Chain A
Amino acid sequence: MSEQELLLKIRDLKIEGRSDETWNQIVNGIDLDLHKGEVLGLIGESGAGKSTIGLAAMGFTRDGCRISNGSVEFDGIDLVNADAATKRGLLGKRIAYVAQSAAASFNPAHRLMEQHTEGPVQHNVFSADESEADGIELYRKLRLPDPENIGFRYPHQVSGGQLQRAMTAMAMACRPDLIIFDEPTTALDVTTQIEVLASIRDIVEQFNTAAIYITHDLAVVAQMADKIKVLLKGDEVEEADTRTMLSSPKEDYTKSLWAVRSFERKQKPMAKADETPVVSIKNVTAAYGGGTVKVLHDVSFDIHAGRTVAVVGESGSGKSTTARCITGLLPPLEGTVEFDGVELPADYRQRDKDQLRQAQMIYQMADTALNPRKTIGEIIGRPVEFYMGLTGAAKRKRVEELLDILELEPNQYIDRLPSELSGGQKQRIGIGRALAAEPKFIICDEVTSALDQLVAEGILRTLAKLQDEFNLAYMFITHDLATVKSIADEVVVMKEGRVVEAGPKDVMFKPPHHAYTDLLLSSVPEMDPDWLDQLLEERGVDNIGDAASSKI
């Protein structure tokens, strides 16, 4: 690698962000070297300054930020002091950017190909026709289905994983020297992610492009990067090539990141056959749009007191719909939901207060699950008042107790608004609201997928502690198999609205699997830099991800 010439040189980069009328430093002096054809992985939790540094590598800062010190040199050009015309000539042509959410980054009013050819035509690299032909070639290289025609669709007509690959193709359109990938696979399912990863790595190698790969997923970065830089709160923790970094990290923080998946609670034995389950779903078939689009087909499983049942599957497999049937938001067409052996009314509006109280829900996005105009005390206090009838000082005392259980200092948090909390703290408030109803059963809908790994682990530990304390039953909806490994007692695998496999965790994680379970398990990236290579070798490029999933 080192024989290749130096492409990007960042020295003592400091970036400040403006909030509350003062400039606060958010990046404190970062040095970075990137050679041609090299891939650098930037990792760290949210707020570490990964994206800010990624953007600064293009000489760009977000609104309200400024580069206060240091230099960014791209191929000898000083990007910090370059004028607008120089930067315009570089961006898109020699430096490209791939954003996290391709769905939000494509203009929905234009076809993919129109957006693809815009850059090359603007920069006089190709004519529109040449660029179009080249686009089709790139789509083929990225193994998009039907490469001749997919470019003439609108963004909403292709899936998320395909869109992310189309965006990578767009970044490649001018054959740039440097591409910045900002969490390109974070929003994707594991099975889709693996396809995108394989194609990104492939194309970056083919064109000898340098790349900065920003992510918080260590296993992903292990597959992609030649070297890794770990960031914490705007400071560099350490930098080394990938293998050294994975095998012998020096700093404590890096070690803690590496060890984050260590949490695994003991699996509880299966409940006795004659025991009445807390929640029992019996032959549920459900549909949206008044029965026209069936999304659940004959789904049945039981959840016992004090146990965690993890429901896994990719998006669209019916996990969340099952939860909606249990809560009564979507009355099933056929089948019933029993609670402690008693059948629940199908519609939540017909359930009485106690039935509603017994089943609570924790949501994926704490931002939309907590009313932004209410204080923490009001949010947790409402179910206390509504179900328990406590008011005034008694209510406040109960809220304080709950905050204590959640390891949040009551006096400090009770009067804050959700916007004044971090992601993990918000999720704890969501747990607190569910707990305040004193339920027997809680549905956790992807509760950790929007969180950093360290924070997610803390949430899982809290949930496990609460389960032991109050003998709660959890239905844990997730697509992250690592989470399943750490917390579940039983696993239910769903695909296209059907239960494909179900059983105790230890059995499920041991072969032989159902073909789909096997695909899910094998698609989870591991912290081994050779993992993707081995997998591709074993299975071949056409047998991974969605391509394989549609064959089952």
Chain B
Amino acid sequence: MSVLIWIIGIVAGLLVGGWVIRALGQAINLPSKQANIYFRDMPYLASVGLALAIFAIAVVIYFYFIAPTPFFVWAVNGFIFFALCAFIFRLLGRNVGTEGSKKLFRQMPLTAAFGILVIIVYAFTSIFAGFIAPYGQEEVFAKANLLPGGDVATGGDPAHKLGTDQIGRDILSRIIYGAQNTVGIAFVTTCLAFLIGTTMGFLAAIKGGWVDQLASRVVDALMAIPQLIFALLLMTIATAWAGSNGFLVTVYMVLIIAVLDSTRVYRLSRAVGLNIVVMDYIEAAKLRGETLGYLVFKEILPNAFAPLLAEFGLRFCFVFLTIASLSFLGIGIQPPLADWGTMVKDLAAFINFAQFSPLTAALPLMAAGAIALLTVGVNFVVDWMLQKTSGLKE
């Protein structure tokens, strides 16, 4: 009951607060003309939103300075750190490089700069994982279950900054190699899904008729089955075929996810393609006697590039999450390859230590966070690209 009273109280406070803020803003003559106009034309709901933002900041300050909890403090610190990194990165981009790239960075929102920075860091890590990681991903050490922190007094070891897992593999090295495996495989899968999806989609858009009907109905059938369940089913069959060959299981997984995800790509490229094939320049090319290949790759593809690129980013996230989910369920990327999904599963038990050793409990969250960070980063970049290509303002 008291919770309900609290909620009602806060909402009422926000409603009144919003009104007061707006009245104040209108009464006080601010130095900037823009700000005066902003308060003058402010709708009431926007002022409530402003009050909510102020309230949220107050709550954050309370839990950060007055009654701190370690996870919340880390989250805030992390947020500030990432924001600073993105800001510095954008500042760098604005001052270094060609005139074109400088202009690009000047128009870039901070979120997009952050996303690009994340993608660069991930790409770098996965390409040079072998040089960055202190140990190999399959290396087993004598001391298993070392705690993170590297402090011998609390059960750690300076040689293993993040400790070791149940069978004594270095967790830091496995997180770094995880970037290579998870991101690399997701990238290959997404490329494959796009190859299948766009080719079929454009073909259906140009040819129409039975080609379109056949391809679209097959896609409908595939999309009618829940994706993860269907992937699980197919993976069970594939695992039975592959037997104990871990590499073969991975190849099957790539193929299965690529085909299932290509249905979404097909839908998009068919829709985009349909809008392009009605253009007069396609008619002109057809009347010139051009071949199908020229029409698809030289006339349609360049015009569909922007939406497809945006979809590539999103699709990459979904593929990446599917792989992580499958690995978490034990039928994705096979050991001994390091993978974030598997690591979340293996380290999940550590979450119970949250009260005694926050750092230990953070271990499964690190693998999960690595997945989340890339997903968020890619989405930021995709949002920005969509906004740029659609010509929307604000």
Q: Tell me the A residues contacting B by CB distance below 8 Å.
A: 21, 63-64, 83-85, 327-329, 348, 351, 353, 356, 361, 363, 365, 368-374, 382-383, 386-387, 433, 437
Bound-complex Cα distance A84 to B103 (A): 34
Contact bitstring B373-394, A, C-beta under 8 A = 1, else 0? 0000000000000000000010
**Does B207 interact with chain A (Cβ within 8 Å)?**
no
- Nearest CB in chain A to that of B305: its residue: A373
Q: Is the CB of B41 within 8 A of A383?
A: no
Q: What are 29 A-B contacts defined by CB distance under 8 Å? A: A21-B103, A64-B393, A83-B40, A84-B40, A84-B41, A85-B41, A327-B287, A348-B286, A348-B287, A348-B289, A351-B289, A356-B287, A356-B288, A363-B284, A368-B279, A369-B279, A369-B280, A369-B281, A369-B284, A370-B281, A371-B279, A371-B299, A371-B302, A371-B303, A373-B303, A383-B288, A386-B289, A387-B288, A433-B284
**Does B283 interact with chain A (Cβ within 8 Å)?**
yes
CB distance from A59 to the nearest CB of B (A): 12
CB distance from B28 to the nearest CB of A (A): 16
B290: which of A327, A329, A372, A386 is its contact (CB, 8 Å)? A386
CB distance from B88 to the nearest CB of A (A): 22
Contacts of A85 in B (CB 8 A): 41
Contact bitstring B295-311, A, C-beta under 8 A = 1, else 0? 00001001101000000
- The list of the 4 closest CB pairs from A to B, nearest first, reads A373-B302, A84-B41, A369-B280, A363-B280
Once A64-B393, A368-B279 are accepted as A-B contacts, the answer to whether A361 and B284 lie under 8 Å apart by CB is: yes
- Nearest CB in chain B to that of A348: its residue: B287
B281: which of A63, A368, A387 is its contact (CB, 8 Å)? A368
Bound-complex Cα distance A83 to B37 (A): 8
Bound-complex Cα distance A371 to B290 (A): 15
Bound-complex Cα distance A470 to B382 (A): 51
8 A-B pairs besides A371-B299, A387-B288 with CB distance below 8 A are A21-B106, A63-B393, A64-B393, A83-B37, A84-B40, A329-B283, A348-B287, A369-B279
Contact bitstring B271-295, A, C-beta under 8 A = 1, else 0? 0000000011101101111100000
Bound-complex Cα distance A214 to B34 (A): 32
Once A21-B106, A372-B303 are accepted as A-B contacts, the answer to whether A382 and B283 lie under 8 Å apart by CB is: no
Max chain B Cβ within 10 angstroms of own Cβ: one of A83, A382, A383, A387: A382
Q: Is the CB of B289 within 8 A of A356?
A: yes
Max chain A Cβ within 10 angstroms of own Cβ: one of B103, B107, B280: B280
Max chain A Cβ within 10 angstroms of own Cβ: one of B103, B289, B290, B393: B289
Contacts of B107 in A (CB 8 A): 21
Once A371-B303, A373-B303, A374-B302 are accepted as A-B contacts, the answer to whether A386 and B288 lie under 8 Å apart by CB is: yes
Bound-complex Cα distance A19 to B289 (A): 40
Bound-complex Cα distance A151 to B205 (A): 38
Once A327-B287, A329-B287, A356-B289 are accepted as A-B contacts, the answer to whether A371 and B40 lie under 8 Å apart by CB is: no
CB distance from A345 to the nearest CB of B (A): 12
CB distance from A342 to the nearest CB of B (A): 18
Once A64-B393, A84-B41 are accepted as A-B contacts, the answer to whether A371 and B281 lie under 8 Å apart by CB is: yes
Q: Is the CB of A382 within 8 A of B288?
A: yes
CB distance from A91 to the nearest CB of B (A): 14
Contacts of A387 in B (CB 8 A): 288
Contacts of A353 in B (CB 8 A): 289
Bound-complex Cα distance A368 to B282 (A): 9
Max chain A Cβ within 10 angstroms of own Cβ: one of B103, B283, B284, B305: B284
Max chain B Cβ within 10 angstroms of own Cβ: one of A63, A64, A363, A373: A373
Bound-complex Cα distance A329 to B284 (A): 11
Contacts of A382 in B (CB 8 A): 288
Bound-complex Cα distance A84 to B37 (A): 9
CB distance from B279 to the nearest CB of A (A): 5
Contacts of A370 in B (CB 8 A): 281
Q: Is the CB of B280 within 8 A of A365?
A: yes
- Nearest CB in chain A to that of B283: its residue: A329
- Nearest CB in chain B to that of A351: its residue: B289
Contacts of A363 in B (CB 8 A): 280, 284
Contacts of A365 in B (CB 8 A): 280
Contact bitstring B213-250, A, C-beta under 8 A = 1, else 0? 00000000000000000000000000000000000000
B287: which of A63, A361, A371 is its contact (CB, 8 Å)? A361
Contacts of B290 in A (CB 8 A): 386
Bound-complex Cα distance A373 to B304 (A): 10
Bound-complex Cα distance A85 to B290 (A): 58
- Nearest CB in chain B to that of A383: its residue: B288
Bound-complex Cα distance A328 to B288 (A): 12
- Nearest CB in chain B to that of A88: its residue: B41
Bound-complex Cα distance A328 to B289 (A): 12
- Nearest CB in chain B to that of A81: its residue: B37
Contacts of A386 in B (CB 8 A): 288-290
Contacts of B284 in A (CB 8 A): 361, 363, 369, 433
Contacts of B286 in A (CB 8 A): 329, 348
Bound-complex Cα distance A497 to B207 (A): 29
Bound-complex Cα distance A328 to B106 (A): 51
- Nearest CB in chain B to that of A356: its residue: B289
- Nearest CB in chain A to that of B41: its residue: A84
Contacts of B287 in A (CB 8 A): 327-329, 348, 356, 361
Max chain B Cβ within 10 angstroms of own Cβ: one of A328, A365, A369, A371: A371
CB distance from A364 to the nearest CB of B (A): 8
- Nearest CB in chain A to that of B40: its residue: A83
Bound-complex Cα distance A348 to B283 (A): 11
- Nearest CB in chain A to that of B276: its residue: A371
Bound-complex Cα distance A372 to B107 (A): 23
Contacts of A328 in B (CB 8 A): 287
- Nearest CB in chain A to that of B303: its residue: A373
CB distance from B46 to the nearest CB of A (A): 12
Q: Is the CB of B41 within 8 A of A83?
A: yes
Q: Which of B60-83 contact A (CB under 8 A)?
A: none
- Nearest CB in chain A to that of B33: its residue: A81
- Nearest CB in chain A to that of B392: its residue: A63
CB distance from B388 to the nearest CB of A (A): 15
Bound-complex Cα distance A327 to B287 (A): 7
Contacts of A371 in B (CB 8 A): 279, 281, 299, 302-303
Bound-complex Cα distance A156 to B40 (A): 40
CB distance from B57 to the nearest CB of A (A): 27
Bound-complex Cα distance A348 to B284 (A): 12
Contacts of A372 in B (CB 8 A): 303
Contacts of A374 in B (CB 8 A): 302
CB distance from A516 to the nearest CB of B (A): 29
Bound-complex Cα distance A21 to B287 (A): 42
CB distance from A354 to the nearest CB of B (A): 10
Bound-complex Cα distance A296 to B299 (A): 32
Bound-complex Cα distance A371 to B300 (A): 9
Max chain A Cβ within 10 angstroms of own Cβ: one of B103, B281, B289: B281
- Nearest CB in chain A to that of B282: its residue: A371
Bound-complex Cα distance A370 to B284 (A): 9
Bound-complex Cα distance A327 to B279 (A): 16
- Nearest CB in chain A to that of B107: its residue: A21
Contacts of B302 in A (CB 8 A): 371, 373-374
Bound-complex Cα distance A79 to B107 (A): 31
Bound-complex Cα distance A351 to B288 (A): 10
CB distance from A223 to the nearest CB of B (A): 34
CB distance from A169 to the nearest CB of B (A): 31
Bound-complex Cα distance A60 to B393 (A): 17
Contacts of B103 in A (CB 8 A): 21
CB distance from B250 to the nearest CB of A (A): 37
- Nearest CB in chain A to that of B391: its residue: A63
CB distance from B229 to the nearest CB of A (A): 37
CB distance from A288 to the nearest CB of B (A): 15
Bound-complex Cα distance A361 to B289 (A): 13
Contacts of B305 in A (CB 8 A): 373
Contacts of B279 in A (CB 8 A): 368-369, 371
CB distance from B184 to the nearest CB of A (A): 31
- Nearest CB in chain B to that of A369: its residue: B280
